[in-house]
Structure 1
Amino acid sequence: MSIHLTPAAHARVRHYLEVEPGTIGLRFGVKRTGCSGWGYVVDMAREARGDDAVFEQDGVAIRVDPDSLPLVDGTEIDFVKQGLGEQFVFRNPNMKGECGCGESFTTADVAAL
């Protein structure tokens, strides 16, 4: 099981860790949303949860709750800048489709969680 940050995403998360006191890493997971089923949730982690899976990458902790882990296992998180916008981008091997607007995605096991 793993979650991987590209160099650009790693630099961005490290920046957030430096400027936001009390953060201990990146919290990554999913929630039910949109027309396809799952949407990504990304935030700075401010507390450790006992049931988190923790992936350590060059001093950055990525924390994933146990319900989200099967849906995001193997995901590569990137950070891209296009024009005036910037965002995290996810390359998730579990994704089998996504809605037209890109807000949500489906997996082979839509009934999970």
Structure 2
Amino acid sequence: MAVTLTPVALDRVQRFLQHDPAALGLRFGVTRTGCSGWGHVADLARDRREDDAVFEQDGVRIFVDAQSLPLVDGTEIDFARQGLSETFVFNNPNAAAECGCGESFTTGPG
């Protein structure tokens, strides 16, 4: 089991953490949203929860709650710049399909 960061995403998260020394790392998971069902969420981790799985990469800790882990296990988090836009990109091998707008994904048929 693992969630990983590309070098570009790792650099971006490290910079976020440098500007917020109270943050413990990156919190990554899913929430119910959109027309397909699940949406990725990423934010700075403020606490470690009892059910968290914690992955570490080059000093950056990635916290994933137990409910989200089966849906995001194996995800590679990237960071992309397109024109004036910057965003994290989630390469999730568990996503079977995405909605048309890209806001949400599903993990299986139906």
- Bucket of the pairwise TM-score, normalised by the shorter protein: over 0.9
Q: CA RMSD in A?
A: 1.1
SS at the partner of 1:9?
Answer: helix
Instruction: Give unmatched runs, 5+ long, in structure 2.
Output: none
> How far does residue 109 in structure 1 lie from its aligned partner after superposition?
7.2
- TM-score normalized with structure 2 length: 0.97
Written as runs of structure 1 = structure 2, the 5 A alignment for 1:98-109 is: 98-108=98-108
Cα distance in 2 for residues equivalent to 1:93 and 1:24: 26
2:45 maps to 45
AA in 2 matched with 1:24: L
2:16 maps to 16
SS at the partner of 1:16?
Answer: helix
Cα distance in 1 for residues equivalent to 2:7 and 2:103: 24
SS at the partner of 1:95?
Answer: coil
SS at the partner of 2:96?
Answer: strand
Written as runs of structure 1 = structure 2, the 5 A alignment for 1:85-100 is: 85-100=85-100
- TM-score normalized with structure 1 length: 0.94
Instruction: Give unmatched runs, 5+ long, in structure 1.
Output: none
Cα separation, partners in 2 of 1:50 and 1:109, compared to 1, 3 Å: farther
Cα distance in 2 for residues equivalent to 1:7 and 1:42: 17
> How far does residue 20 in structure 1 lie from its aligned partner after superposition?
1.2
**Does the alignment pair 1:83 with 2:83?**
yes
> How far does residue 21 in structure 1 lie from its aligned partner after superposition?
2.9
Identity of aligned residues (%): 66
Cα separation, partners in 2 of 1:72 and 1:12, compared to 1, 3 Å: same
> How far does residue 66 in structure 1 lie from its aligned partner after superposition?
0.1
**Does the alignment pair 1:33 with 2:33?**
yes
2:61 maps to 61
